[in-house]
Each structure stands twice: as structure tokens, then as C-alpha cells.
Amino acid sequence: MLKVGDQLPAVTLYEYVPADGGECALGPDPVDTAKAAAGKTIALFGVPGAFTPGCSEQHLPGYLEHYDALKAAGADEIWCTSTNDAFVMGYWGKAQGVQGKIRMLADGDGALMQATGLKLDMTGKGFGVRSARYSALVRDGRIVTLNVEAQGEVNVSDAATMLAQLKANPKA
């Protein structure tokens, strides 16, 4: 399983940003995690599923609420990942009003989930294999902090914890 000090696995995630108005949206676009994280400080959080209660009512809204503070504390970007497809992630982000603030990155085939070992098996409950709920402070592709939740909880991977960790681990 992923641990502090490890490199963020180099996998391809997908990003889809729905267009506003009558414009045609393009994508989804591939995002190479190694290239996208290079030279940046990323507040990364993973959720089991878009549009689910804990993810939609607590986890994602907390990162949006703390957006300005996270940026002021040194986050270059905020990434949300889930084992949903890019279209679901894009429209979930649009519904939550995060466009331009939080990158909604789809791990539809579970490449990041498998590479990190941050897996939540909900087979038999109608959900299949999902990403565990977690957050990680990533600096230049390396894991600085990692917070993995117990199933059904949002206590250590929340935005307030990430903000405290950013402040405790300033850029060198």
C-alpha cells in the first residue's frame, strides 16, 4: 500500500470539464499523474463514489469551502479522484460548483486505486470495488502525508486536516 515517502504512481487518469451554455465540451482528456504533479504541491483526495452522500455532503464540499485557505497554505492544485468515469466526475464537479478550483480526475479503470493499494471492496453491496476514502499531500510527485479513512467515515481525509498538514509541511 502507498505510504509516506513513496512516489505517486504514474498512471493515466481522465478529466472531463462540461461546457457552460451552448458550447461543446471536449474530452475526456488524459492526465499523466507523474507529469501533472511534477514541481507542484497537490492536495489530493480520493472518494468511493461521485454523487454519494458522504462524498457529496461532506468530503468534496469541505475542499471547496477551504479552497482559498488551501491555496494560501501552498497547494498549487486540488485533485479529487474516484473510480467513476470521467463524464460522471465532470458533471459531479459541475453540480458541486468546483470548476476551476478542484480537478475532478476519473480513475475509471482503477489504475490509481490498484497502484496505491487504496482499495475498498464493496462487492455484494451493489458497488463493486471502489477507491478507499483518503487524502494525501503530494509534493513534486512524492507523498508527504497520507490519511486513510475507516469505511464510512470522513474524519482524517477532510479539508481541515489537509490544511493543517499543509501548514505543518511548508514548501522547502
3-state SS of the chain: helix, strand, coil percent to 5? 30, 30, 40
Q: Which amino acid is at 103?
A: R
Query: From CA 39, how far away is CA 168, in angstroms rounded?
Result: 19
Residues tagged active-site: 55
Query: From CA 28, how far away is CA 12, in angstroms rounded?
Result: 12
Query: From CA 93, how far away is CA 24, in angstroms rounded?
Result: 17
Q: If you write DSSP's letter for every residue of 7-57 in order, what string do you get?
A: BPP--EEEE--PPSTTPPP---EEEEHHHHHTT-EEEEEEES-TT-HHIII
